[in-house]
Amino acid sequence: ETGVTQTPRHLVMGMTNKKSLKCEQHLGHNAMYWYKQSAKKPLELMFVYSLEERVENNSVPSRFSPECPNSSHLFLHLHTLQPEDSALYLCASSQDRQTNTEAFFGQGTRLTVV
Amino acid sequence: DAKTTQPNSMESNEEEPVHLPCNHSTISGTDYIHWYRQLPSQGPEYVIHGLTSNVNNRMASLAIAEDRKSSTLILHRATLRDAAVYYCILRDGSNYQLIWGAGTKLIIKP
């Protein structure tokens, strides 16, 4: 138990569906992150939020839409995804962006797009 | 972005020390060296980090070369629960991002 909880753990969706991934942390952290982990590829940083404000968007397609309504919750809204978007989506949090504190990861959502 | 190079996999016997190497020849002066590990079906877990000096914590030790172009993660007494993929990562000193590589899959033999 890392203090970062992701739901659902598994998700299968069609290319025309709309779904959302949820991440919750009660560690009092100010920074939250979405990562994508595809098979045989390094983790890719997708989005960074600091104090509920998006500070990084690493050239992610618009079919992925993040939302951070408060410092404890982070969502990733998905629509019209492609099969190549199938991957493990990981949420993480850290005390803040700047200092060298460790990041805490959730267990991830295994997404399959059919 | 500076990158890291690690062996794809390593094997070790249970209850023996393990030395996991990492090369980062293009590291810049402000990049920190972080290590995370990922157990099967889990998210990554922080192990240790350092800048120039060697570091110790309850999980492992980190030995950093004097020129900072390489580092070694040391697990002093491996157990079966240490079987995981170990990532050597540079934390970019300018944008604070973790730059992940492919990692080393550590196999522990009983």
The tokens 């991957």 sit on which residue? A87
Element housing A66 (H / E): strand A64-70
Pairwise CA distance, residues B68 & B47, whole Å: 19
Q: Report the residue of chain B nearest A50, measured CA to CA.
A: B96
CA torsion sign for A77, A82, A83, A88 is negative
Residues of A in contact with B95 (CB under 8 A): 56
For the residues A39-44, what does the mean pLDDT come to? 87
Cα distance from N-terminal residue to C-terminal residue, chain A: 31
Element housing A1 (H / E): none
The amino acid that residue B38 corresponds to is Q
Instruction: Encode chain B (110 residues) as per-residue pLDDT tens digits.
Output: 668 999 999 999 999 999 999 999 999 888 899 999 999 889 999 999 999 999 999 999 999 999 999 999 999 999 999 999 999 999 887 777 888 888 999 999 99
Pairwise CA distance, residues B56 & B68, whole Å: 17
CB A102 within 8 A of CB A2: no
Q: Which of A33, A43, A44 to mutate to test the interface with B (most CBs of B within 10 A)?
A: A43
Q: Residue A83: helix, strand or coil by DSSP?
A: helix
Question: What pLDDT shows up at residue A59?
Answer: 86
Question: What pLDDT shows up at residue B76?
Answer: 95
Q: Report the residue of chain A nearest B51, measured CA to CA.
A: A100
CA torsion sign for B10, B15, B16, B19 is positive
Q: Which of B35, B53, B100, B105 to mutate to test the interface with A (most CBs of A within 10 A)?
A: B100
Nearest to B55 by CA among B71, B37, B70: B71
Of B36, B49, B97, the CB nearest to A100: B49
